[in-house]
Amino acid sequence: MTHPDLPPPETVQGDVVTGGGRHPHMIGILLMLTALILINCSDAVAKLTIEQVPVFQVALFQAAAMIAAVPFLARTTNVVRLVRTSRPGLQLLRSCCQFASAICFFSGLGLLPLVDVIAIIMLGPLVVTALAALVLKEKVGPRRWLACGCGLIGALIMIRPTFEDGMGWPALLPLGAVCFFSVYAVITRMLAPREGTGTMMFWGAIVGFVVLIVSSPFYWQTPTPEIWLGLVVVAILSASSNGFTIRAYAHAPASLLAPFAYVEIIGGTILGYLIWRDFPDAITWLGIAIIVGSGLYVWHRERQLAGAGH
């Protein structure tokens, strides 16, 4: 699951072309697509690994990789600078939400087809839009509220809670991941003007890492060489994806990159079919189409309003 932390401020202004003749926005798109391919592969390996070891073990390796990546992505080894924060309470709450989101996501991954989990996760931007309006008092018009409602309907169509062929209670796990991550994203918006990228990244992973390390004697299972490889691959791929995402936002604005997130559904569908022979049925595709369409409409409206200066 993509957990992009706070990206650095956008460095692209106007129609600037790099020395090699390639537009920075194109570089940003290529970096984002690379990040999505890596996180698709990470999720697929995580799903295979979760079949053999506890979810907490996979989450521990991912959290450790995020911590290890902080000095490289933040470009500093100054621990005091990374730890110092003006809002420790909010940072801890944000970190708890990221931890809970990861546990819900990996748990759902072990019980549901890969593409179904990814599709439900795509509700994230819609939930963030609604929370930002309620908590941060950001202006959200009736059409965007309607799009958020349509996204929820799309999720219910996918889950089919009253039908025998629906996803059933396991669908609550990725939905929980969406809710926790949306709170995490809203808190990130609140803290972004005051905190540096390295600080946000460090605090984002620290609660999960500490809790999972302390509790490891209660869930740890000695991995086979193949599982060790899987855990390391998940750690490397997820951390690398996070790094590529951050660099993508340094080359292109979020308004340009946002729609490309839905490419993750395509990757999840391909990997799900190749590895597990899972392929969404017609009703699931209808739900996915509604979720994606609602998300793209919200993105379109935000671009319109930003262009109009609202």
Tell me the percentage of the chain whose pLDDT exceeds 90: 59
Q: Please report the pLDDT score of residue 309 as a whole number.
A: 58
Give yes or no for residue 4 having a pLDDT over 80: no
Q: Convert the pLDDT of each residue in 229-250 to its tens digit.
A: 999 999 999 999 988 888 888 8
- Token reading at 233: 């691959």
DSSP assignments along the chain, one per residue: -----PPPPP---SS---TTS--HHHHHHHHHHHHHHHHHHHHHHHHHHHTTS-HHHHHHHHHHHHHHHHHHHHT---HHHHH--S-HHHHHHHHHHHHHHHHHHHHHHTTS-HHHHHHHHTTHHHHHHHHHHHHS-----HHHHHHHHHHHHHHHHHH-TTSTTS--GGGHHHHHHHHHHHHHHHHHHHHTTTS-HHHHHHHHHHHHHHHHHHHHHHH--PPPHHHHHHHHHHHHHHHHHHHHHHHHHHHS-HHHHGGGGGHHHHHHHHHHHHHH-----HHHHHHHHHHHHHHHHHHHHHHHHHHTT-
Instruction: Work out the pLDDT band at 21, boundaries 50, 70, 90.
Output: low
Span 125-142, mean pLDDT? 89
pTM: 0.88
CA dist 228 and 232 (Å) reads 6
Q: Convert the pLDDT of each residue in 35-62 to its tens digit.
A: 999 999 999 999 999 999 999 999 999 9
Q: Convert the pLDDT of each residue in 277-310 to its tens digit.
A: 999 999 999 999 999 999 999 988 888 876 665 4
Q: Please report the pLDDT score of residue 165 as a whole number.
A: 65
Q: Please report the pLDDT score of residue 304 as a whole number.
A: 81
Q: Please report the pLDDT score of residue 141 as a whole number.
A: 87
Domain ranges in the chain are: 24-249+282-307
Tell me the percentage of the chain whose pLDDT exceeds 70: 90
Nearest to 1 by CA among 66, 67, 75: 66
> 7-16, 76-85, 100-109: lowest mean pLDDT where?
7-16
Q: Please report the pLDDT score of residue 11 as a whole number.
A: 39
Give yes or no for residue 135 having a pLDDT over 50: yes
Instruction: Work out the pLDDT band at 161, boundaries 50, 70, 90.
Output: confident
Give yes or no for residue 16 having a pLDDT over 60: no
Q: Please report the pLDDT score of residue 305 as a whole number.
A: 74
Q: Please report the pLDDT score of residue 247 as a whole number.
A: 84
Q: Convert the pLDDT of each residue in 185-202 to its tens digit.
A: 899 889 877 888 788 889
Q: Please report the pLDDT score of residue 52 as a whole number.
A: 93
